[in-house]
Amino acid sequence: MSTLTLSVLAGLGIGVVDILPMLKQKLPRYTIVAAFIHYFVMTVVIFHTRIPGLPWWLQGGVLGLALMLPMLIHVGHDDKKPLPIITANAVILGSLAGVLAHWLAG
């Protein structure tokens, strides 16, 4: 399978993992769609990016957090309570994407 196909499949999976708790909480639909799109695109970007000098196991978490920074600023302006959860999700799911990229796409 090509790296693009693997990244799309992994992005779909990681996007679903992120939105499952949001569906249970019955958050607004636009919030759920935005989160899914973010994690889908984040995964594809992580699969196709290599950061020189940074170990492979750290790249996904760093990119996940970096890509989440604008959302953290936006959400944190109104409510600081969800920031630790959003940050942890970004680092954990970004790291998962990085590990998948390393082992599946090599």
Q: Are 96 and 60 in contact, with CB atoms under 8 Å apart?
A: yes
Please state the domain count of the chain. 1
- 33's tokens: 């769609």
Range of the domain at 64: 3-105
Provide the 3-class DSSP secondary structure of residue 106.
coil
CA-to-CA dists, residue 40 to 6, 11, 63, angstroms: 12, 4, 13
Q: Check whether 106 has a pLDDT greater than 80.
A: no
The pTM of this model reads 0.91
Q: What pLDDT sits at residue 49?
A: 95
**Cα 102 from Cα 106, distance rounded (Å):** 5
Question: What pLDDT digit, counting tens, does each position of 24-77 carry?
Answer: 999 999 999 999 999 999 999 999 999 999 999 999 999 999 999 999 999 998
**Cα 82 from Cα 59, distance rounded (Å):** 24
Q: Check whether 1 has a pLDDT greater than 90.
A: no
